[in-house]
Chains A and B, each alone.
Chain A
Amino acid sequence: MEMLFALCVGVLTTCGVFMILRSRTFPVVVGLTLLGYAVNLFLFSSGRLSINSAAIIGSTDAYGDPLPQALVLTAIVIGFAMTAFVVILAMRGRGDLGNDHVDGRIPDHSSLSDKERN
C-alpha cells in the first residue's frame, strides 16, 4: 500500500509541476490543482498509513492519528478557495489582457513552430 501511495503522490506531483510550468493559464490552474491533490495525499500520510483504525481511542486496538485528517481537511478547504480564486483571476486575465498567456502577451519567437508555441 505504501508503494502505491508513494507512486500516486509522486506521479501527481510530477504532472502538477509539469503543468504549472506551461505558459497558458488553463494548464497552470490544472497543474496547481494536481499539485494540491498530491500535497493533500502527502499530508494525510504523515499520520502513517493503516487500515481499519478509527481515530477514536477505545473502539479498536490500533487507532489512527486524527490530527493529519484535520490538517488535510483544512488544507482541502483552503486549496479549494484558492483554486476558485485563481480560476476567476485567469478568466479576468483573459478578458483584460486579450490572451490566456501567463505573461499577458503572446511570446514572439518566430523560430518556434505553432505546436511548440502552445
Chain B
Amino acid sequence: MSHLVILPFLLPIFGGLLLLLPPIQNSLSRQRIFAIFTSLLLILVSITLLHTSYSQGTQLYMLGNWQPPFGIALVADPLAALLVLLTSILGFAAILFACSGDDETGMYYHTLILLLISGVNGAFLTGDLFNLFVCFEILLIASYALLVHGGGKHKTQASLHYVILNLVGSSIFLIALGILYGMLGTLNIADMANKLHLLSEDDQLLVKVAGLLLLVVFGLKSAMLPLHFWLPRTYASASAPIAAMFAIMTKVGIYSIFRVHTVIFGENAGELANIAQYWLWPIAILTLFAGAVGALASSNLRLLTANMILISVGTLLVGAAIATEQAAGAAFYYLLHTTFVSAAMFLIADLVSRQRGKAEDRFVQARQMKQRDLLAGLFFVAAVAMVGMPPLSGFIGKALLLQSADTGAAMGWSWSAILLAGLAAIIALSRAGTTLFWRVSSIHDEGETVPRAKLIAIILLLSCSPLMVIFAGPITAITTAAAAVLFDPALSVDALLPTLTHNPGGY
C-alpha cells in the first residue's frame, strides 16, 4: 500500500466534502452515521500507518512522484503516525459526543470537524515547510468556523481575537518561509537541514532570524507564554466537543517546534545549532507559572481546564528545552496523555454545566446534579490523571520527563517548576471538585440525564489513561523510536533524500 501515507489526509477531506452532497446532507442522522463511519475508518488507517512506520521504518511519499528534494513530500515516521492516530481517536470522540445534540446548534458540524482533522493530520505528516503552512491554514479556517459554531456573544468576541491573532501569525510564518527559501533555496525540511552548512556568515544571521520567527509562530499556535493570552477565553467559550478537539491544536505547535528545531536547527546545524533552546527554557518555566496562576484563579471548570492545557504546554516545552532524545520521548508520551485527558475534562465540564442549572460550571454553590456520583467519578479519574498522580498515565509521563533532566541546572529548574505547577493543579482541581460536587444548596430531580453517546465518548477518552499505563512498555517503545528518528540525522534527513546519498556533491 504505497498510498497509505496520504490517506489520513485525504480520507477526512473527502469524507467532509461528501457530507455536503445531497443524499447525506439531507438528514442529520445520515450525516452522523457517515461521520462516525469515516472517523472509525480513519482510526483503522492510522493504526495501519503506525504499524507500518514502526516496523518498516519511515515511509516517504512524494506527491506527483517528483524526485526528492523537489516536489511536496509527506513523511510518515513513527512520531507523525503516532500523532495522526491520536488525532483520529480524538476526532472520533468529538464526533460521537456531538451526535447527541451539539451538532444541531449550527450547520456543517461534522464537515468542519473532518476538515479540521484533515488539516491536523496534514500538518503532522508533511515533510515540507510550505505545506505545513497550508495545513495550518486548513486547520485554522476549520477552527474559526467551529469556534463560532452555535453562535453567541462570547463566541464572537473570543473568535475575533483568535482569528486576528492567527492571521498575523500566518503573515509571520510566510515571512519566515520567504527568508528561508531565499537563503536555502528549498522548503523540504530534510534538505534544509543539509544546506545549513553551506551558508556564509551573513546569511546565517538571516536564517537565524527566520528560525526564531518560526518559533514565534509555533509559539502562538502552542500558546507559550507571551503569546498565550488568547487560549483560556477561546477554549472556554467554544462548545464542549469543539474545545475537546482544540486540545490537539496546541500540540500541533509543539510538534512543529520539535520537528523544525530538532531536525533543521538541531545539534548538527553548526553555528545555528540549538538557537531555540536559549529562549525555550525561560518561556517553558514562565508558561508553567502562568498556567498555575491561571488555574488557581479560574472561576469555572472550562476555564480551569484551559489553564491546565497551558500547564501541559509548559511541561512539553520543558521537554523541548532539555533537547535530548530521552526528554523528547518522554514529552511525546506526556503529549498523548495530556491531549486525551484535557479533552475528556472539557466534555465532563459540559455535562456538569448541563446538570447544574443556571450556575453552569462556575465554582459556586448550586443545586445538586442529577447524576452526581457518575459525574464525580468521571471528574475524579480525569483530575487524578491530569495532575499526574499515580496510578494513571500523567504520573508516568511526568516521571519520565523529570528523569530525563540529567544535568544539575536542568534538573533544578524543570523539577521545581513542573512539581510546583502540579501542586497548584492539585489545589485548583480539588477546590473545583469540592465546590462542584459537595457544596449543594438544594436537591432537585430535574435536568436531563447524560445521553449514552456522550458517556461513551468520555469513557473512551478517559480509558486511554489507564490503558497507557498498562501498555506503558510498548507505548514508550514507540515514543522512544519516534524521538530517535527525530534526533538521528541519518534517519530524519539522509533517508529522505535518496538522490543526495547516492550521488553526493550534486544532483
Q: Do residues B174 and A97 form an inter-chain contact, with CB atoms below 8 A?
A: no
Does A15 have its Cβ within 8 Å of any Cβ on chain B?
no
Q: Do residues A78 and B134 form an inter-chain contact, with CB atoms below 8 A?
A: yes
A67 touching B161 in the complex, CB below 8 Å, given contacts A39-B174, A82-B167? no
**CB-CB < 8 A to A97: which residues of B?**
153, 156-157
What 6 pairs across the A-B complex have the smallest Cβ distances?
Answer: A46-B182, A104-B157, A46-B178, A43-B178, A96-B156, A39-B174
Task: Write out, one digit per residue, whether chain B residues 126-167 have a CB within 8 A of any chain A CB (1) or not (0).
Answer: 000010001001000100100010001100110111011001
- Measured CA separation A79–B174 after assembly (Å): 11
Does A53 have its Cβ within 8 Å of any Cβ on chain B?
no
Q: How many interface residues does chain A have, given as a range?
A: 35 or more
Q: Do residues B164 and A81 form an inter-chain contact, with CB atoms below 8 A?
A: no
Name 20 extra pairs, CB < 8 A, besides A28-B164, A43-B174, A82-B137. A20-B168, A36-B171, A39-B178, A42-B174, A43-B175, A45-B182, A46-B177, A47-B181, A48-B182, A67-B181, A71-B181, A74-B130, A74-B134, A82-B163, A82-B167, A93-B157, A96-B152, A96-B156, A97-B157, A102-B161
Task: Look across to chain B and name the residue whose beta carbon is closest to the beta carbon of A40.
Answer: B174
**CB-CB < 8 A to B159: which residues of A?**
89
Does B419 have its Cβ within 8 Å of any Cβ on chain A?
no
Does A54 have its Cβ within 8 Å of any Cβ on chain B?
no
A90 touching B137 in the complex, CB below 8 Å, given contacts A35-B171, A42-B178, A71-B177? no
Most-contacted residue by chain B among A20, A75, A93 (CB, 10 A)? A75
Task: Look across to chain B and name the residue whose beta carbon is closest to the beta carbon of A71.
Answer: B130
**CB-CB < 8 A to A35: which residues of B?**
168, 171
Q: Do residues A43 and B177 form an inter-chain contact, with CB atoms below 8 A?
A: yes
Task: Look across to chain B and name the residue whose beta carbon is closest to the beta carbon of A41.
Answer: B178
For the residues of A in contact with B, the DSSP-based class is helix
- Measured CA separation A47–B177 after assembly (Å): 12
Does B179 have its Cβ within 8 Å of any Cβ on chain A?
yes
- Measured CA separation A85–B160 after assembly (Å): 11
CB distance from A101 to the nearest CB of B (A): 9
- Measured CA separation A39–B167 after assembly (Å): 12
Task: Look across to chain B and name the residue whose beta carbon is closest to the beta carbon of A103.
Answer: B157
- Measured CA separation A96–B153 after assembly (Å): 6
Could you tell me how many residues of chain B have their Cβ less than 8 Å away from some Cβ of chain A? 27
**Residue in B171, B177, B178, B187 whose CB lies within 8 Å of A45:** B178
CB distance from A55 to the nearest CB of B (A): 15
A46 touching B179 in the complex, CB below 8 Å, given contacts A89-B148, A93-B160, A104-B160? yes
**CB-CB < 8 A to B160: which residues of A?**
25, 89-90, 93, 102, 104
**CB-CB < 8 A to B153: which residues of A?**
96-97, 104
Does A10 have its Cβ within 8 Å of any Cβ on chain B?
no
Does B170 have its Cβ within 8 Å of any Cβ on chain A?
yes
Task: Write out, one digit per residue, whether chain B residues 91-109 have a CB within 8 A of any chain A CB (1) or not (0).
Answer: 0000000000000000000
**CB-CB < 8 A to B148: which residues of A?**
89, 92
CB distance from B277 to the nearest CB of A (A): 27
What would be 8 A-B contacts, judged by CB atoms less than 8 Å apart?
A: A25-B160, A43-B181, A46-B181, A47-B181, A81-B141, A82-B137, A85-B144, A97-B157
- Measured CA separation A57–B291 after assembly (Å): 55
Q: Do residues A102 and B141 form an inter-chain contact, with CB atoms below 8 A?
A: no
Q: Do residues B175 and A89 form an inter-chain contact, with CB atoms below 8 A?
A: no
**CB-CB < 8 A to A81: which residues of B?**
141
Q: Do residues B175 and A39 form an inter-chain contact, with CB atoms below 8 A?
A: yes
A85 touching B156 in the complex, CB below 8 Å, given contacts A32-B168, A42-B175, A45-B178? no
Task: Look across to chain B and name the residue whose beta carbon is closest to the beta carbon of A25.
Answer: B160
CB distance from A45 to the nearest CB of B (A): 7
**Residue in B130, B164, B175 whose CB lies within 8 Å of A32:** B164
CB distance from A24 to the nearest CB of B (A): 11
Q: Which of A25-84 contact B (CB under 8 A)?
A: 25, 28, 32, 35-36, 38-40, 42-43, 45-48, 67-68, 71, 74-75, 78-79, 81-82
Q: Do residues A86 and B167 form an inter-chain contact, with CB atoms below 8 A?
A: yes
**Residue in B144, B174, B179, B187 whose CB lies within 8 Å of A75:** B174
- Measured CA separation A16–B329 after assembly (Å): 41
CB distance from A60 to the nearest CB of B (A): 20
Task: Look across to chain B and name the residue whose beta carbon is closest to the beta carbon of A98.
Answer: B153
CB distance from A98 to the nearest CB of B (A): 9
Task: Look across to chain A and name the residue whose beta carbon is closest to the beta carbon of B147.
Answer: A89
Task: Look across to chain B and name the residue whose beta carbon is closest to the beta carbon of A42.
Answer: B178
- Measured CA separation A43–B133 after assembly (Å): 13
**CB-CB < 8 A to B161: which residues of A?**
102
Q: Do residues A78 and B163 form an inter-chain contact, with CB atoms below 8 A?
A: no
- Measured CA separation A79–B141 after assembly (Å): 11
- Measured CA separation A35–B173 after assembly (Å): 12
CB distance from B356 to the nearest CB of A (A): 26
**CB-CB < 8 A to B182: which residues of A?**
45-48
**CB-CB < 8 A to B156: which residues of A?**
89, 92-93, 96-97, 104
Q: Which of B174-218 contact A (CB under 8 A)?
A: 174-175, 177-179, 181-182, 187
CB distance from A13 to the nearest CB of B (A): 9
Task: Look across to chain A and name the residue whose beta carbon is closest to the beta carbon of B183.
Answer: A46
- Measured CA separation A96–B119 after assembly (Å): 29
